[in-house]
């Protein structure tokens, strides 16, 4: 029992086991030790393997009071929270910079507020984070109608006058995605496109990492915890589920020169 305790004490903590102070020190050390952004993304993402999965765990509290969900989470993640935290940590050198960068990724122009959050991957997150990733999807497309006003009212009880948006999105059908996954680089993002009630939409995301032999693998947060696996295994497991609705994937490539843009001014509430 003593030997097991000593072994556990000697093993470095995973991020989800850290306090914010410990995470800040880890972020600083990663920036010092690894100058390559792609490798840093992979190392930080892997340092969260085993993190418990929890859906819908972030909000705007205490800045906004429509719920009591916080603006960051170390102890748990869903797929997008995992990706956002990993990118934000990899782009930062301190805890304070990480927290700022996380909000720059989560919100349009970094302006905090539920109505400004990047809720829809296709028309919010991907567009507003074009400085970080570029859409490399092709081969097929789907039409999508986004009613942000209805979404905000039904999900967050927030009323906003936002016009309905129609868009056409490119994606890779499953077989083509399997063929082209090997062209992705470490730190790129994979978005899973599924059909829900007749509507195509992004329903899951994960990151690309390389193993010791240079093979690409899929690192993502999915119940019950963050895991790393072959992309083919993820596809096969997904297709084996009844009514899985898997249609294909969007491939988002990490930009070669990533410069985090400044945030827009945070407006005074009520103005």
* 66 and 60 Cβ atoms separated by less than 8 Å: yes
Which phi and psi angles does 270 have, rounded to 5°? 90, -5
Mean pLDDT confidence for 169-176? 98
HSE-up (13 A, CA, CB side) for residue 140: 14
Distance CA 98, CA 227 (A): 23
Q: Is residue 28 part of a domain?
A: yes
Q: What percent of the chain is predicted at pLDDT more than 90?
A: 92
pLDDT of residue 242: 87
Label residue 157 by pLDDT band (50, 70, 90). confident
Give residue for tokens 């960051």.
Answer: 72
Report CA torsion sign: 103, 53, 13, 19.
Answer: positive
Label residue 2 by pLDDT band (50, 70, 90). low
Q: Is residue 262 part of a domain?
A: no
Higher pLDDT, 172 or 56: 172
The CA-based angle 86-78-31, given to 5 degrees, is 10
Q: Is residue 240 part of a domain?
A: yes
Give residue for tokens 């869903």.
Answer: 78
CB atoms within 10 A of CB 35: 8
Distance CA 104, CA 39 (A): 22
Q: Is residue 42 part of a domain?
A: yes
Radius of gyration of the chain (CA): 19
Distance CA 53, CA 59 (A): 16
CATH number for the domain spanning 128: value is: 1.10.3670.10
Give residue for tokens 């004490």.
Answer: 9
pLDDT of residue 9: 56
What string of DSSP letters covers 176-209? HHHHHGGG--TT-EEEEEEEETTEEEEEEEEEEE
Asked whether residue 1 carries a pLDDT value surpassing 70, the answer given is: no
Q: Is residue 271 part of a domain?
A: no
250-to-175, 229, 241 alpha-carbon distances in Å:
13, 18, 21
- Output the furthest CA–CA distance in the chain (Å, rounded): 63
Asked whether residue 264 carries a pLDDT value surpassing 60, the answer given is: yes
pTM of the model: 0.94
Domain with 183 in it:
15-254
At 186-221, the pLDDT tens digits run 999 999 999 999 999 999 999 999 999 999 999 999
State the total domains in the chain.
Answer: 1
């Amino acid at each position: 029992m003593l030997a097991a305790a000593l072994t556990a004490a000697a093993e470095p903590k995973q991020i989800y086991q850290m306090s914010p102070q410990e995470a800040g020190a880890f972020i600083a050390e990663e920036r010092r030790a690894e100058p390559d952004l792609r490798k840093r993304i992979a190392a930080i993402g892997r340092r969260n393997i085993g993190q418990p999965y929890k859906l819908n765990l972030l909000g705007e509290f205490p800045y906004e009071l429509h719920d009591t969900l916080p603006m960051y989470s170390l102890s748990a993640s869903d797929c997008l929270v995992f990706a956002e935290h990993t990118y934000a940590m990899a782009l930062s050198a301190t805890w304070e910079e990480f927290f700022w960068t996380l909000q720059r990724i989560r919100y349009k122009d970094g302006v905090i507020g539920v109505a400004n959050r990047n809720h829809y991957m296709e028309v919010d997150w991907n567009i507003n984070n074009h400085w970080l990733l570029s859409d490399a999807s092709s081969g097929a497309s789907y039409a999508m109608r986004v009613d942000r006003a209805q979404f905000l009212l039904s999900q967050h009880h927030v009323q906003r006058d936002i016009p309905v948006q129609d868009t056409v999105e490119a994606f890779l059908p499953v077989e083509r995605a399997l063929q082209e996954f090997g062209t992705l680089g470490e730190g790129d993002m994979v978005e899973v496109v599924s059909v829900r009630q007749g509507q195509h939409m992004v329903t899951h995301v994960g990151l690309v990492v390389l193993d010791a032999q240079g093979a690409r693998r899929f690192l993502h947060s999915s119940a019950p915890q963050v895991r790393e696996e072959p992309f083919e295994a993820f596809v096969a497991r997904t297709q084996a589920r009844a009514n899985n609705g898997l249609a294909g994937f969007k491939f988002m490539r990490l930009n070669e020169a990533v410069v985090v843009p400044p945030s827009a001014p945070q407006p005074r509430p009520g103005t």
